[in-house]
Amino acid sequence: MWFFSSPAIVFGESSLSYLSQVPIQRAYIVSDANLAAAGLVKKVIDHLPEQAQIVGEYCAVEPDPTLETAVQGARLMLDARPDWILAIGGGSVIDAAKAMWILYERPDMQADAINPVEVLGLRKKARLIALPTTVGTGSEATWATVLTDPRENRKLGLGNRECLPDIAILDPIMVQSLPLPILIDTALDALTHAIEGYTSTWHNVFSDGLCLKAAEMICATLPCCVSDPNSTDYRADLQNAATIAGLGFGNSMAALAHGMGHALGGIFHIAHGKAVPMFLPYTIDYSLGGEHDSTRYRPLAALLSLPASTEQEAGANLAVYLRELMSMMGQPGSIAELGIPRHEFEANMSVLVDNALNDTQTIMGTRIPDLPDLEKLFRAAYDGRRIDF
Amino acid sequence: MPIFFPSDEWIKTMMVDLNNSSTYLDAAKNWEGDLYFIIQPGGNLQKPVTLYMDLYHGKCRSAFEVDGMENPPKPVFEISAPIENWKKVMTKQMDPMQALMTGQLRLRGNMAIVMRNVRAAKELVESCTRIDTDFPV
């Protein structure tokens, strides 16, 4: 028994206009300062129905939102009493909005206790619309929320199936001015979602096709978009692909690259879209050393026209392809290239390993590392060495 | 020889398995919290059975079947399910996390502890699967 969950997805040119059809009475906006300054929040507000009243705005979500941000936002919502929450932003904003929404509906809960097991009983007070402004998060199509506990420098993978947004609106105008470096980071994050979603132990027939399609679209479109960054069509394709990948991995989970990326990002404050894709080739190589034929890289490699007569060949070629793609995009290929000094990296190794081992995504891979293996993985990723264990 | 589940002998065997596992010791080094396994009837199991484990920093300090005790423990966590579902999880026919998320296993307790210690929870289930078990279904 398992579920497939999806928001209503509105996509394509002028899809923001759909907002005028949503029966919003009391709107609460969640976003960040940069997006508000760039006019994207106003673009959304301009499309709200006539009767809608803006009862509050929290346009201060930081990158890697903390548990406290979620609590603060929920407290403000309790005073404002919205009936619809609009999350306008990337993964940090949408994740924060989900957590705020849960705590607004369930003020009895602790932010770090948001879990996938309990029945929360959401939607008694409000519903959620997600309007992504990047081409990677997928959060608009998943029930996950990642919040940071700054006391432990740790990202917590939280969530509940009920906090899946009701509506996701993908209007290309929202990503038209997305700066190219962030576009690349987030598109590679989406590619990681697609690949890990296809290969996680929770993969299923409903998520498989979505993950493959998203991987194909991103690999075909990203280089074109980098060559022609003002193309609305390429940006729209990447925006759609990110949500398709979100739907895929949101229903099948991510895996070890996310577990390691969360741990690294929590301690060294590296952007999710830089850290997670960087680990992917390493975790593919590591997974190939697991139980015989437990991986499923052949369809992915075949899709990219890579030699794939065996799983080993397919996985190895996929890892090489990803390294080359990331290098072509100017992305870091190792932890050292992220600018983290070795002594700081080594000083934090025990926390890094502990947090990665306890990340909810780490246990979804086909090969789950133990502590010594994870230390070796991190060190290999620091130096940019291939995985041979 | 397979050990009957659920029984006092079975939970004591699991206690030995956990205390011999260096992986569990490491995974659960921050875990503090005792728990009940509540097994609801089915097949040849006629009445509910409750098994208790006291888990503390990677070790199991005591384990027993709770049966007719005057002052039974009041543990921090409870996991309950029909015997059929326990069997599916313990024989790896059902993923424990998916079982929890679909309501086929029910967990009560401080979820903040669980969400920070997913590896401890996973290793606990792994221990269950290592025991040669005779099920009443």
The model's pLDDT over B2-15, given as tens digits with 9 standing for 90+, comes to 999 999 999 999 99
- Give the residue ranges of chain A where pLDDT is below 70: none
Extended beta strands in chain B, E state? 3-4, 35-40, 49-56, 59-66, 77-82, 106-108, 133-134
Tokens encoding A146: 């990642």
Q: Which residues of B touch A (CB under 8 A)?
A: 23, 26-27, 95, 97-98, 100-102, 104, 107, 110-112, 114-120, 122
CB pairs below 8 Å between A and B: how many? 53
Alpha-carbon gap, residue A91 to A93, rounded angstroms: 6
Over residues A314-360, the pLDDT tens digits come to 999 999 999 999 999 999 999 999 999 999 999 999 999 999 999 99
What stretch of H or E contains B126? Answer: helix B118-130
ipTM given for this complex = 0.90
What is the least distance, in Å, from the CA of B68 to any CA of chain A? 30
Write down the pLDDT at residue B69.
Answer: 85
Over residues A126-176, the pLDDT tens digits come to 999 999 999 999 999 999 999 999 999 999 999 999 999 999 999 999 999
Q: Do residues A330 and A182 touch, judged by C-beta distance below 8 A?
A: no
Q: Express as a percent the part of chain A with pLDDT over 90.
A: 99
Contacting residues of B for A360, CB less than 8 Å apart: 115, 118
Q: Decide if A62 touches B, using CB distance below 8 A.
A: no
Nearest chain B Cα to A251, which residue? B98
| Average pLDDT of the segment spanning B51-78 | 95
Q: Is residue B68 over pLDDT 90?
A: no
Q: Do B114 and A158 touch (CB under 8 A)?
A: no
The closest CB to that of B115, out of A2, A3, A158, belongs to A158
Q: Do residues A257 and A192 touch, judged by C-beta distance below 8 A?
A: yes
Q: How far is CA B97 from the centre of its chain?
A: 13
Q: Do B101 and A117 touch (CB under 8 A)?
A: yes
Q: Do A158 and B26 touch (CB under 8 A)?
A: no
Write down the pLDDT at residue A354.
Answer: 93
Contacting residues of B for A359, CB less than 8 Å apart: 118
Nearest chain A Cα to B31, which residue? A358
Count other C-beta atoms under 10 Å from residue B137's C-beta.
15
The alpha-helical segments, DSSP class H, found in A117-204 are 180-199
Write down the pLDDT at residue A227.
Answer: 97
Contacting residues of B for A117, CB less than 8 Å apart: 100-101, 107, 111, 114
Q: Do A112 and B26 touch (CB under 8 A)?
A: no
